[in-house]
């Protein structure tokens, strides 16, 4: 009986930790996506001061998220995001808003895809 209780407690702990991790990643991804949407709006409005502030905010959110995600997510996706973010900054610094908007769209797609790949669904299992 003690073994059964121990196994059940371990299973519940494992399940709760997995659920918490999924919720945490979803919340962080939603915050980053929201800020990317705002960045795209600011780029379309061509407001350089606000764009710089928004990029700093996205950097802060990304660094916080990356510290957790690096343990849980394929590094390939993280590297793609960082490269796209660097290209976005370069395009904005060189006054190429059209190219920056395309990179922002890529950033949104990468961030949107990461939590979907971690969800516990039949599609991800098989």
Q: Which domain holds residue 105?
A: 22-125
Q: Tell me the pLDDT of the chain (126 aa) as tens digits.
A: 888 888 899 989 988 888 898 899 999 999 999 999 999 999 999 888 899 999 999 999 999 999 888 888 878 888 999 999 999 999 999 989 999 999 999 999 999 888 776 666 666 555
Determine the Cα–Cα distance for residues 14 and 48; give it in Å rounded to an integer. Answer: 46
* pTM of the shown model: 0.83
CATH of the domain at 110: 1.20.120
Determine the Cα–Cα distance for residues 38 and 43; give it in Å rounded to an integer. Answer: 9
Number of domains in the chain: 1
Determine the Cα–Cα distance for residues 39 and 30; give it in Å rounded to an integer. Answer: 14
pLDDT tens, residue by residue, 73-89: 878 888 999 999 999 99
């Amino acid at each position: 009986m003690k073994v059964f209780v121990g196994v059940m407690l371990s299973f519940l702990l494992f399940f709760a930790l997995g659920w918490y991790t999924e919720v945490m990643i979803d919340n962080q991804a939603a915050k980053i996506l929201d800020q990317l949407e705002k960045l795209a709006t600011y780029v379309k409005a061509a407001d350089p001061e606000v764009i710089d502030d928004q990029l700093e905010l996205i950097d802060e959110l990304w660094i916080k998220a990356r510290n957790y995600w690096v343990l849980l997510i394929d590094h390939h996706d993280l590297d793609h995001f960082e490269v796209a973010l660097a290209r976005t900054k370069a395009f904005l610094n060189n006054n190429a808003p059209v190219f920056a908007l395309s990179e922002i769209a890529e950033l949104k797609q990468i961030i949107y895809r990461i939590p979907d790949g971690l969800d516990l669904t039949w599609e991800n299992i098989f």
